[in-house]
Structure 1
Amino acid sequence: MNQTLETEVAILGAGPVGATLAAALSARGVPCAILDAAPLPPMELQGFDGRAYAIALASRRVLEAAGIWDRLPTTPCPIQGIKVADGRIGERPSSLDLDFEAAEVAEDPFGWMVEARALRVALNARLPELPGVQVFAPMTAEVARDADGATLTLRDGRRLRARLVVGAEGRNSPLRASAGIGSARHDYGQIGMVGAFAHEKPHNNRALELFLPAGPFAQLPLNDQHEFGTSHLPHASAFVLAESRGVAQRLLAMDDARFKRELQRRLGDWLGEIEPIGRRWSYPLTAMHALRYTAERMALAGDSAHGMHPIAGQGLNIGFRDVESLARLVGDAHAAGEDVGSPALLRRYQAERRPDALMMIGATHALEKLFGNDIGVVRLARRLGIAAVDRIPALKRAFARQAMGLPLRA
């Protein structure tokens, strides 16, 4: 007879959102299981591959509470300032810009740049030591839900019974599809590229966001003490670049010397001489929003529920907000001896998370449409708008707190 295991919550997907949710539930004393199709062996810190996440202040607090932040094997780089400007490739950015300073908003930085390899090492180190957490990886499962819970039939024949199953598998979530939950989608016709470069001048923990007609370009500070291969330049930053598919494919095919010139055309002399380091990564830019975040005994989190344009760098941070909400609701229910997968709890989760994500998707979509053109009168209007925000402290503070994931009022 096949073995049947019991738990409170089963999480599908051990990426940053799913793994952090497991850790957050464990911290609240909620037994859970996490499954992923890929293996999660103990990892040594591999060579820098060019990928990094911008982690907002609110997201750092989620990672700290889950016991993940302190296990990062490299030191995150704080973002103390952000310059936002309108521009055109090959020209200096508009002087009608917007400067955010973290010190004007809170005692903490806006966020931290965390290398993707470092976060993965921290998650993999944390998962096996979590009390009450069962890890199945590599493992796949068939999921059947009923009024009392969910039954996961594992590939090896074992069965896992849970009160609630959470889909954190990514945008093409099989769990979402199996529940018949549709999604609204928009294709921007662009490709996003991410990577890193070494540079001559110090970044002083400041980020640059340039709105270019073809798509946004962002420079995000990395710590200088990491090993960046053979570069002779002392400082480093990550970049995020969006371009039309045709242009992006040409950029991705370039050697480092040619790609360096393209980066320099967008960046100007902001950081002096530059040199690409690590790999270049790319992905199609689309927006996606699930029509529902819940079904019977089921919840969606992270990219399984929503995806947005990277123009504001908030995609993963919105996923961490899902983690905070779901872990809090489930943790409170568990502590009170209540059903952690009840319809009432799932209604509260959707009411908390869906409007917030929808607002951010709408905001990033509006930004992309407003700044993604080169019409003269529109360009002038948006530059004046950026300058106006820079001169309205209350509005500027509200934008900054939103980016940090904080309430609009302190």
Structure 2
Amino acid sequence: MTVAKAEQREIVLLGSTGSIGTQAIDIVRANPDRFRVTAIGAGGANPGLLAEQAVELGVEAVAVADATALEAVQLRLFAAAKERQWDRGGFRMPKLIAGPNAMTEIASWQAHTVLNGITGSIGLAPTLAALKAGRQVALANKESLVAGGPLVREAAAPGQLVPVDSEHSALAQCLRSGTPERVAKLVLTASGGPFRGRTRDQLAEVTVDQALAHPTWAMGPVVTINSATMVNKALEVIEAHELFRLDYDDIDVVVHPQSVIHSMVEFTDGSTIAQASPPDMRLPIGHALAWPDRLPGAASPVDWTKAADWHFEPLDAAAFPAVALAKDAGRAGGLLPAVYNAANEEAVAAFRDGRLAFTGIVDTVEAVLGAAPEFGRPGSVADVLEAEKWARSSARRLVLDASER
């Protein structure tokens, strides 16, 4: 059968030096006929890599969120170009945009798809900017939907948001097997992280190094610690609710240590459709960039010639209460999911600095949620930021109080 050649898509990569961004560039390298990167953006902590990416990809613009890193990026750009002997007229300096709004500005750069691989709620404004500009958004920044779900829903046209998280990509693929009214339940799988099987008491002495040793996935430090506390899965539950509009009672989490089945959809006739592939983020990234098409060779498939055991077990809600807590925040709605996320970011930072115990992360989030005032429904990014400011301040105060006991 002859397959029609797909047109080349222009891509903007936000968070290009992070885990999602670098893997997306791997996909672009392998598929130069399918994708061309027009602009990239990053925080600026790795100016050398950002410059190398800009030169290699021949981008038109580079965004640097940390304005103090701009000079370092410029110097590295010239050095990288000279190394490639492009200083003889073969290199065109990209436009440089720096400052806290740089990522938001570049999100509306000319492109078919904007891949938002930024970590944290700072990814919300770029998501909204890309949607307003009419770009397809490949969303790896779950906090956009957690912190600003109502804002994103209002801004997004049908089909404009494409999930990149492996679980939500799996759900989107499985949902093609039936109509929305025939969907009974979404089931997100969780690896269980490095502490699966431990009791709450056994978690009290967990160290930062132990929390960063994920058994399956290679991710950034914040996401890895969120996976260890199950907060990452909790945020994904909120994200699934916002993406697919099912009630929280109809979204379940099951522990699957092998991370081969990425999520499942149960239909009203009793059928359950699952998406299976080895744990490799290049598959959901490639799927999002090519959506609704599939990208041949994006990742290796399951090897069915080898024997394998896949295990499933219920989530221990007593040891890992983050998911139940997130569902409660999601049901309450308004800005409580944003409060949950911001409080967690502060608590994770305190844990990494040695100022908070591992179990104190979710305990802090719960305490902040319990003290939250009536914020109402967000009407703007400013509303989200105000709720987050309150949550961060409250979390910092609780951490300080805990350290003084």
TM range (shorter): under 0.3
TM-score normalised to structure 2 length: 0.25
TM-score normalised to structure 1 length: 0.25
Bigger relative contact order, structure 1 or 2, given CA contacts below 8 A and separation 6+? 1
Q: Which is helix-richer, 1 or 2?
A: 2
Q: Which is strand-richer, 1 or 2?
A: 1
